[in-house]
Structure 1
Amino acid sequence: MKKVLIIYPHWHPANLAGVHRPRLIGNFLKDFGWTPRILTVQEEYFEETPDHDFNRTFSSNFEVTRVKALKTFKPRLIGDIGLRAFYSLCKKAKEIIESEKIDFIWLPIPSFYNSLLGRLIYEKTKVPYGIDYIDPWVRDITNQTGVRAQLSQSVARALEPIAVKKASLISGVSTPYYEPVLKKNFPEFYNKDNELLSETLNSKSGKKIVHVSMPYGFDPNDHEVILPQVKFPWKNDPKDQKNWIYAGAFLPNSHTLLSAFFEAIANLRKKGLWNEKIKLWFVGTGAYPAKSITAYAEEFELQDIVTEKRDRYPFLQVLNFLSAANTVMIIGSTEKHYTASKTFQALLSKKPVFSVFHTESSAVKVMEDCKADEYTVRFDPVEVRKTLVEQFEEKLLNRLNATSWNPDLEVLNKFSAKESARKLVDAMEKVLE
């Protein structure tokens, strides 16, 4: 088998969203003739609360090496584990390449500084590397006015060209996540009609470079794990209560959508069309700096039906929450490149999904293909807010009056983690031809 060295600073028992990318794809790489070789950091250097049940979602295919990192101190000047472990990861990667046959290096980001390892290791070893965009590095920070965010983006604009310069693969959860990188750094990817080619010659390295998009996908085995003693957020509430749940980080570009969503609910309440047995739960939303979900609820006088719990929950607990809820909510982004990996978990919960995405988001296509878009709001930036609120009201009434939910989940197979693994292998093998 060929061997891919996957360098990612977090691994179990950290259940961060980023860990799922190499986990999900790595679970299936051996099906296509590749062995996943993991280089990560020792768990005692993680700041996150450990989730030991999370280990149950990893296959036995991974060969894992862990390194030390700098500890965090007070004041917390450097928190990013990619920076704290940068030297150790780089050193150990070179040692692994010297002692083992490594065919390719794959570096999911964030941590964004992780991408620089590919360039440094390539210069010493000539092993081809690829950078995988779980999130864009240079991105829209319209809703973040702090000095820290501005500085972070200045650093990103300076470092990203260095990291990608001699890459052989650029991948991501969707093409819009990484296409700006191609436009800025690899004009050779575009023909005279400005059409994006699937592969070309990297003018900086003289080697082939390809790009590929593949969603997070899903591992159906995750949904087979039942936690017998899980504590639900609504455990002490009335049995006839209908619980709608949103699970995951509250995104910087979700504010407009959430505000319109709450305004629509407030309008329906005033008209006597809202079901007062419904409670909205927002869990694991994180320590975001902007206006809170709780504050939006107070603004629209919904504090009696909206509860926000910012602390993260373990992954398998969240899957159990989704399966037990009456409705699963997905509040997407005003950015069209946002794909919402949680879409698959929501659909696989087998509970109705109320969602909102940019009208051009690939997540909308997923919902349409599954015939699960009856409660999907499509955000169009050219439309006025009133139109968005009215669309929310329409979709909410659809959900309130619904009698059945029968999506075609077979369609999801083309979005599975196994299919994403196949796409990654095809891309790596193109590079090695």
Structure 2
Amino acid sequence: MKNVLIIYPLWHPSNLAGVHRPRLIGNFLPEFGWHPIILTVKEAFFEEIPDLDFEKTFKDHFEVHRVNAIPLGKIRIFGDIGIRSFWQLYKGAKKIITENKIDFIWIPVPSYYPALLGRILNSKYKIPYGIDYIDPWVRDMKNYPNSGLRQRLALGIARILEPIAVKKASLISGVAKAYYQGVLDRNDKRAKKVDVAMPYGFDPNDHVLKLDVETPWSNEKDVIPYIYAGTFLPNSAPFFHKFFATIKKFRDMNQWNDHIKLYFIGTGLYPGKTIQELANDFDLSDVVIEKRDRLPFLNILYFLGQAQGVLAIGSPSPHYTASKIFQAILSKRPVFAFFHEKSTVVDILKECNADQFLMTYNDNDSDEDLDIRLERILRSYFLNEVNWNVKLECLEKYSARASAKVLVGGLNKVLGNSNV
């Protein structure tokens, strides 16, 4: 069995979104002849509240090595754990490499800065490496109108460091090709790199784990709960404006069921207005409940299954793909989705017969056309009887197991090209 060293500074009990990438892929790598060795940071240096149940979703074949990091301290200079642990990860990687035969090094980003370790370790040990894009490193900031000096400084640094990190990479991967196409376009095209795209996918075992927890609406009488679970990014705001404006119209026309409550869970902290503030602008403070703190992953899966319906709202970007769409479909609850028509989410929903309440956006759509279509879909979703019959078997090709197989195909191709 070949060994892949996965360098990612977060691991359980952190349940930040990025941790799911190496977890989901790594859960299935041994099926395809690869043993995952994880290099990460000790949990004492994590910022987030630990999710102790999260460990249940990790298979026991992971070989995990943890290193120290620079503590945050009272004055927050560098919060990014990839910066705080960079030197320690480098030393940890050297130790692992000297004690094991490592066939490949795979580094999911963000955090982006550990991507540089691939270049450094390749120079020293000649081990091929790849960078996996969970999110783009260099991004178009026009979608972040309220970004400040810190964000723009980070972008400037990214434009300098990314070419250094990827120059000697043998493989570039990502959750969708659009997430890393710019990397291939910006850098030396003569240096042929293997590239593979595979979604986060899902592990069906996650959905059979049971918890005894209360939902956010457990103490609400006669409530009809709908839930949106996940981060709220600033460039999604136009879709939320449309969404809330339509609900306000229903209320103004006395066509809204006052027992319906919309719960937005784990939306995070980003520049600009919060979802609650956007809802308040439309006089929906009694309809919308936002809880911005991240909640345990298994709790979220449970909440999705207990809700009346699940909301999946994306952004006007055509290459925005939401990994949470799999959890939404697997909840077996009706899904309202709002995405650009070219998003991969649209194809997934259609293939699974889960597009009954799909609202798509096109760059040439007029506001009037969008408003008319959105009103029709939301009226059917919230106010009419729903018949929901999805084909879960169609999701198999999007599973984490399928994604692991795609990645292994890329790894084996690299090793074949290198005559290793």
Is 1:419 matched with 2:402? yes
Q: Equivalents in 2 of 1:344, 1:140: separation in Å?
A: 27
Residues 19-418 of structure 1: pairs in structure 2 closer than 5 A: 19-142=19-142, 143=144, 144-188=146-190, 202=191, 209-228=193-212, 230-238=213-221, 240-399=222-381, 400-418=383-401
Once structures 1 and 2 are overlaid, which stretch shifts more, 105-114 or 290-299? 290-299
Gaps of 5+ in 1: 189-201, 203-207
Aligned pair count reads 413
Q: Equivalents in 2 of 1:370, 1:271: separation in Å?
A: 34
Cα deviations across residues 182-218 of structure 1 (Å, max 9, x unaligned)? 0111434xxxxxxxxxxxxx2xxxxx62000000000
- What is the CA distance between 1:398 and its match in structure 2? 1.9
1:430 alignment partner, one of 391, 413, 416? 413
1:197 aligned partner? none
Q: Equivalents in 1 of 2:367, 2:157: separation in Å?
A: 34
Q: Equivalents in 2 of 1:348, 1:34: separation in Å?
A: 28
Cα deviations across residues 52-99 of structure 1 (Å, max 9, x unaligned)? 100000001100000000001222010000000000101111121111
Conserved 8 A contact 1:94-1:125: no
- SS of 1:113's equivalent in the other structure is coil
Normalised to the residue count of structure 2, the TM-score between the two structures is 0.97
Q: Equivalents in 1 of 2:182, 2:82: separation in Å?
A: 23
Cα deviations across residues 378-417 of structure 1 (Å, max 9, x unaligned)? 1222223332222221111221313310011110000000
Q: Equivalents in 1 of 2:97, 2:240: separation in Å?
A: 48
Using the aligned pairs only, state the percent identity.
55
Normalised to the residue count of structure 1, the TM-score between the two structures is 0.94
Gaps of 5+ in 2: none
Once structures 1 and 2 are overlaid, which stretch shifts more, 287-296 or 323-332? 287-296
- What is the CA distance between 1:424 and its match in structure 2? 0.4
- SS of 1:117's equivalent in the other structure is helix
- What is the CA distance between 1:423 and its match in structure 2? 0.3
Conserved 8 A contact 1:260-1:385: no
- What is the CA distance between 1:139 and its match in structure 2? 1.0
1:3 aligned partner? 3
Conserved 8 A contact 1:138-1:153: yes
- What is the CA distance between 1:247 and its match in structure 2? 0.7
- What is the CA distance between 1:251 and its match in structure 2? 1.0
- What is the CA distance between 1:292 and its match in structure 2? 1.1
Cα deviations across residues 226-285 of structure 1 (Å, max 9, x unaligned)? 111x121111111x3210100111112110111110011111222233222211000111
Q: Equivalents in 1 of 2:96, 2:175: separation in Å?
A: 28
Alignment root-mean-square deviation, CA: 1.0
- What is the CA distance between 1:145 and its match in structure 2? 2.8
Distance change in 2, residues 1:337/1:186 (3 Å): farther
Conserved 8 A contact 2:217-2:223: no
Conserved 8 A contact 2:262-2:289: yes
Q: Equivalents in 2 of 1:33, 1:255: separation in Å?
A: 44
Q: Equivalents in 2 of 1:333, 1:140: separation in Å?
A: 14
- SS of 2:113's equivalent in the other structure is helix
Conserved 8 A contact 2:380-2:386: no
